[in-house]
Amino acid sequence: MTTTPADSQALHPDLVRTEVDLVLDDFLSAKDRAAAAQSMPVEASAALRGFLAAGGKRLRPLLCLTGWYVAGGQRRPRPVVQTAAALEMFHACCLIHDDLMDRSDTRRGKPTVHRTLGAQDTHGRTGPAADHLGNSAAVLVGDLALVWSDELLHTAGLSERQLSDVLPLIDAMRSEVMYGQYLDVTATGTPDADVGRALAICRYKTAMYTVERPLHIGAALAGAEPAVLEALSAFAIPVGEAFQLRDDLLGVFGNPATTGKPALDDLRDGKHTVLVCLALLHASRSQIDQLRELLGSPTLTEDQASAARDIIAATGADRMVEEMITERYGLALEQLKSAPMEPAALDALRHLADRSVRRRQ
Amino acid sequence: MTTTPADSQALHPDLVRTEVDLVLDDFLSAKDRAAAAQSMPVEASAALRGFLAAGGKRLRPLLCLTGWYVAGGQRRPRPVVQTAAALEMFHACCLIHDDLMDRSDTRRGKPTVHRTLGAQDTHGRTGPAADHLGNSAAVLVGDLALVWSDELLHTAGLSERQLSDVLPLIDAMRSEVMYGQYLDVTATGTPDADVGRALAICRYKTAMYTVERPLHIGAALAGAEPAVLEALSAFAIPVGEAFQLRDDLLGVFGNPATTGKPALDDLRDGKHTVLVCLALLHASRSQIDQLRELLGSPTLTEDQASAARDIIAATGADRMVEEMITERYGLALEQLKSAPMEPAALDALRHLADRSVRRRQ
């Protein structure tokens, strides 16, 4: 029996999560045992396990498997699932380093890795020394996640052709997300009305990294022709941008109980998002002054955040972002009309676009 | 004409540096051009180029090429040199993240990457905001160096057999150094008399990462038999430990003009080295109290560092470390007597042991 995207079970997020998490858990258990056997610290693999267990949508593995089916892959061979899991392990590196750079206290409703490791010190450090230790340990745990994502890929059991097809895509994906992060980090704290820069961050950090490349990687594993990869790009970029624009809205107007992230963080950090750029572009002089005062203020209170939200809403920026999401969603579906794919594959991609755009977390 | 280690030119450090640096420079120039073409920040590749240009011994590439010749490799094919360069690029990641974790201001006599990027901000940040930006950007530049080291490896033009032989060694090497760093980071600032822990850090961070694995990787590229890899390990571990013990001595008693590192940093950071452990183990009660006061003090002055040096010397710890170096050097040479290698290969390894142990920088 073959499994295709038409079989609604095959790409059910819960099923993908279960299979991917099994691979990650096996891998980290082996790392625990190896560390213990060599008297190495087990805190690193434990921190990573805790981080992965705390949640996350496993979106990149889901997209990788979607790419596999869309390009005609059959069933779910273990090497393909393990490659999907490698993307999640790489993503753990990005998030752990991201939280450190954003100085976030929580992620997925739990303390971030640098906070956990800072609080866990067994040498009696307190205050800034404990914070610094937590930060340093989180740099290393992120680095380990990065090199372990490679190890997952190298040991997945891919054929030589599969490996040589996906390595350039993985290399490209990793440079793209790092560049996107670099743009993001240098812009954060000093947002302005430069929508182009905000869209570049959105494209590199999310559209390419989160959507396009995982689809490409899965499709390449199935031996996709260039025309399929091009059609996937034409669909993925607008869907990915819509996904990030939704994220920006949720980061400011979302319910922390649903998103698992404090609704203050983006405002307090002064994130240079399309939402904020549009607000600054359409705000009155006095609104601009107020926003500049509030955005990026490390001591932002809930009341001040509420004031910032009111101003953003008053400029109409949130509605403009909603329109941009709708426009990109329509464009993505339009692209599918000429895509060289089976109806079942097209259904899977349509479903994906729906989930990316209409989510609440 | 074949080139062997007997040809003294082949492994001359200056020649290796020139060839490796040419590969790194070509690679980073291509990254500069690609970034500019996509309106991506060129600061990241520029920072990495500046870091690599500032110096460094290119020890891991040299050892990788030594491993290649020792296992019977001929000439210097470009894929082998590029693999050696990939090790240097990975090392750049380790050093950039290491400097960040150690809060070092200088490396190789120049400002560290996080200091450079913090001072370079074009958004007018100053004080802690500029420092934080520098730290964040350095996390990302280190991450980029890591993923680019992979890209160098993937695009080196290795045969499928070579690639499948070296990938497990590279994976092992990277986990080992990260674990060693983790042990180091958690021990730094709170040194005690636990010599076993200090030796474990020394073994993982240096003996395995700096010496054993680069030799293995070069030898594996040449298709080395397991017996050759084992003989290389038996030689590499004592040489690597001796190398690190020399480093610890230079870090406290070295001349900053020669080492390029301030002679205060190790003491100020409270590095948990074998030298410091032995000093604490053999110090009197009052010397222990004084050392505890001084080691790891973020405000340590040159006079206080001088006092700490005098106490360490008074305990005889520096002479004990010299003896450990001599013992390991002798053991390494002893191991070579039964190694299944040609005389020219043995000469190259003996020369390497000499350089590792008798250096001043």
| Helical segments of chain B, H only | 13-37, 43-53, 59-70, 78-102, 113-119, 127-154, 160-187, 195-202, 213-221, 226-253, 256-259, 265-269, 274-282, 285-294, 302-314, 317-336, 343-357
- Partners of B110 in the beta sheet? B107
CB pairs under 8 A between A and B: 144
Neighbouring residues of A292: CB distance < 8 A, sequence distance ≥ 6: none
Q: How far is CA A147 from CA A172, A359, B14, in A?
A: 16, 31, 31
DSSP string, B223-267: T--HHHHHHHHHHHHHHHHHHHHHHHHHHHHS-HHHHSS-TTHHH
Q: Do A140 and B100 touch (CB under 8 A)?
A: no
Q: What are phi and psi of B264, to 5 degrees?
A: -95, -25
Which ipTM score applies to this complex? 0.92
**Most B CBs within 10 Å: which of A186, A192, A292, as the mutation test of the B interface?**
A186
Instruction: Choose the closest CB to B189 out of A129, A164, A178.
Output: A129
Q: Which residues of chain B make contact with A142, given a CB cutoff of 8 A? A: 139, 143
Main-chain dihedrals φ then ψ at residue B11, nearest 5 degrees: -110, 25
Chain A contacts in chain B segment 193-212 (CB below 8 A): 200, 204
pTM above threshold 0.90: yes
Q: Which residue in B137, B182, B189 is closest to A140 by CB distance? A: B182
Angle in degrees, CA B220, B226, B229, rounded to 5: 60
pLDDT of res. A106: 86
Query: Is the CB of residue B157 less than 8 Å away from at least one CB of chain A?
Result: no
According to DSSP, residue A207 is labeled: I
- Report yes or no: A28 and A49 within 8 Å, Cβ to Cβ: yes
d(CA B132, CA A145): 23
Compute the Cα dihedral for B129, B135, B139, B145 and give only its sign: positive
- In 3D space, the residue among B112, B287, B183 whose CA is nearest the CA of residue A144 turns out to be B183
Low-confidence ranges of chain B (pLDDT < 70): 1-8, 121-122, 260-262, 361
pLDDT at A231: 96
Contacts of B168 in chain A (CB under 8 A): 154
What pLDDT, on the 0 to 100 scale, is given for residue B109?
A: 82
pLDDT computed for residue A109 by the predictor: 82
A297 by Cβ neighbours in 10 Å (0-12 / 13-18 / 19+) ranks as middle
Residue at B84: amino acid letter: A
Q: Return the structure tokens found at A196.
A: 């182009």
Contact A353, A70 (CB under 8 A): no
pLDDT of chain A along its 361 residues, tens only?
344 554 557 888 899 999 999 999 999 999 999 999 988 888 899 999 999 999 888 999 999 999 999 999 999 899 999 999 999 999 999 999 999 998 888 888 889 999 998 887 667 778 888 888 999 999 999 999 999 999 999 999 999 999 999 999 999 999 999 999 999 998 888 888 899 999 999 999 999 999 999 999 999 999 999 999 999 999 999 999 999 999 999 999 988 777 766 678 889 889 999 999 999 999 999 999 999 999 989 899 999 999 999 999 999 999 999 999 999 999 999 999 999 998 988 998 999 899 888 877 6
**B:20-49 residues touching chain A, CB 8 A cutoff:** 31, 35, 38-41, 43-44
What is d(CA B64, CA B84) in angstroms, rounded to the nearest whole number? 6
Q: Which residues contact B168 (CB under 8 A, 6 or more apart)?
A: A154
Nearest CA in chain B to A157: B164
First to last CA, chain B: 35
- Predicted pLDDT at A3: 46
Q: What is the DSSP letter of B190?
A: S
In angstroms, the separation between the Cα of residue A204 and the nearest Cα of chain B is 10
Those of residues 66-95 in B touching chain A at CB distance below 8 A are 93
Phi-psi region at B290: left, alpha or beta (left = phi > 0; alpha = psi -120 to 50): alpha
Interchain contact, B139 vs A139, CB within 8 Å: yes
- Alpha-carbon B19 to chain mean position: 19
Q: Which of A171, A194, A204, A272 to probe the B interface (max B CBs under 10 A)?
A: A171
| Burial grade of A333 (CB within 10 A; 0-12, 13-18, 19 or more) | middle
Cβ atoms within 10 Å of B167's Cβ, excluding its own: 22
Provide the shortest C-alpha distance from residue B259 to chain A (in Å). Answer: 25
| B137, B143, B175: residue with CB nearest A186 | B137
Q: Do B178 and A147 touch (CB under 8 A)?
A: yes
Domains of chain B: 1-158 (1.10.600.10), 159-361 (1.10.600.10)
What is the residue whose two structure tokens read 């040449």?
B222
Residues 174-193 of A with CB under 8 A from B: 174-175, 178-179, 181-183, 185-187, 189-190
Pairing of strands B110-111, B106-107: antiparallel
Can you tell me the distance from the alpha carbon of B274 to that of B201, in angstroms, rounded to the nearest whole number? 9
The verdict on a CB contact (< 8 Å) between A143 and B144 is no
Cβ of B41 within 8 Å of Cβ of A183? The answer is yes
C-alpha distance from B170 to closest chain A C-alpha (Å): 9
- Chain A residues closer than 8 Å to B189 by CB: 123, 125, 129, 133
Tell me the C-alpha distance between A230 and A249, whole Å: 29
